[in-house]
């Protein structure tokens, strides 16, 4: 009984499609020529044969076959939608990452945003000379300051540098080594030849993103819990 109903519905749909095609009004957007109509009938016949074959193969499990077919249709539609809106989805994924991982940079046009961390500081994921370096925004630091470990990870010759620069810290006077960093990247902001300092081993827990980097930007501001940085336009 079920198969006869299915065949009736299928044939009814095909008949309706043929009737609608034959009854196109004058001036309608779709009109079949004498050559197109046999081609359409051939395609409809092919679909009927395929549908009949599927029903024959799965006559004992037709409902299950339909369910699997609909599942694959849904998956296909999701893939199409995902590809169509891939850029929007990528931006959304970055925003989610910024919320879940403080310090992760989100690029919005020419602005790079970093969310404030749970400690109240702006933890920034930077790349120095190609090496990932965790930093903390410190507007009181006149220069970028790297820990000894971060400097070594960035490929700087820490075994040959001299700590002969006197600096003022929260704990008093200290010594540091002056260097020039080839490249600092945060999001799509890239600066070359940035003056920096290297702290002696054990003197600094986290590298500092200081003014020698921030002063090179076209602008930066802290808006609520967001650090917003804009690169200087290339000339």
Q: In the prediction, which pLDDT does 23 show?
A: 46
Q: In the prediction, which pLDDT does 1 show?
A: 44
Q: Is the pLDDT of residue 212 over 90?
A: yes
Report for 74-78, 110-114, 169-173, 214-218: range of highest mean pLDDT: 214-218
Task: Place domain 102-230 in its CATH homologous superfamily.
Answer: Acid Proteases (2.40.70.10)
Q: Is the pLDDT of residue 192 over 90?
A: yes
Mean predicted lDDT score pLDDT of the chain: 75
Q: Is the pLDDT of residue 24 over 50?
A: no
Q: Is the pLDDT of residue 169 over 50?
A: yes
Q: Which of 84, 82, 122, 85 is nearest to 106 (CA)?
A: 122
> Which burial class, exposed, middle or buried, applies to 176 when counting CB atoms under 10 A from its CB (0-12, 13-18, 19+)?
buried
> pLDDT by residue (tens digit) across 92-103?
655 655 555 556
Q: Is the pLDDT of residue 8 over 60?
A: no
Q: In the prediction, which pLDDT does 115 show?
A: 85
Q: How far is Cα of residue 220 from the mean position of the Cα atoms in its chain?
A: 23
- Half-sphere exposure for 74 (CA within 13 Å, toward CB): 6
Q: In the prediction, which pLDDT does 132 show?
A: 93
Lowest mean pLDDT among 31-45, 109-123, 159-173: 31-45
Give start-end residues of each CATH 2.40.70.10 domain in the chain.
Answer: 102-230
């Amino acid at each position: 009984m079920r198969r006869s109903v299915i065949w009736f519905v299928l044939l009814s749909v095909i008949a309706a499609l043929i009737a609608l095609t034959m009854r196109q009004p004058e001036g309608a957007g779709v009109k079949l020529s004498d050559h197109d109509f046999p081609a359409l009938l051939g395609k409809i016949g092919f679909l009927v044969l395929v549908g009949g074959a599927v029903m024959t193969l799965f006559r004992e499990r037709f409902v299950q076959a339909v369910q699997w077919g609909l599942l694959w249709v849904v998956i296909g539609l999701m893939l199409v939608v995902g590809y169509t809106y891939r850029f929007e989805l990528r931006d959304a994924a970055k925003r989610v990452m910024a919320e879940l991982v403080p310090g992760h940079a989100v690029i919005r046009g020419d602005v790079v945003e970093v969310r404030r961390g749970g400690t109240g500081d702006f933890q920034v994921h930077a790349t120095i000379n190609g090496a990932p370096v965790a930093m903390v925004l410190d507007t009181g630091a006149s220069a970028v300051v790297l820990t000894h470990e971060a400097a070594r990870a960035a490929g700087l010759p820490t075994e040959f540098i001299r700590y002969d620069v006197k600096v003022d810290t929260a704990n008093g006077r200290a010594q540091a080594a002056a260097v020039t960093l080839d490249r600092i990247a945060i999001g799509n902001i890239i600066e070359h030849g940035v003056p920096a300092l290297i702290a002696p081993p054990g003197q600094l827990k986290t590298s500092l993103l200081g003014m020698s980097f921030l002063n090179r930007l076209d602008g930066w501001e802290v808006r609520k819990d967001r650090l917003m940085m804009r690169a200087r336009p290339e000339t």
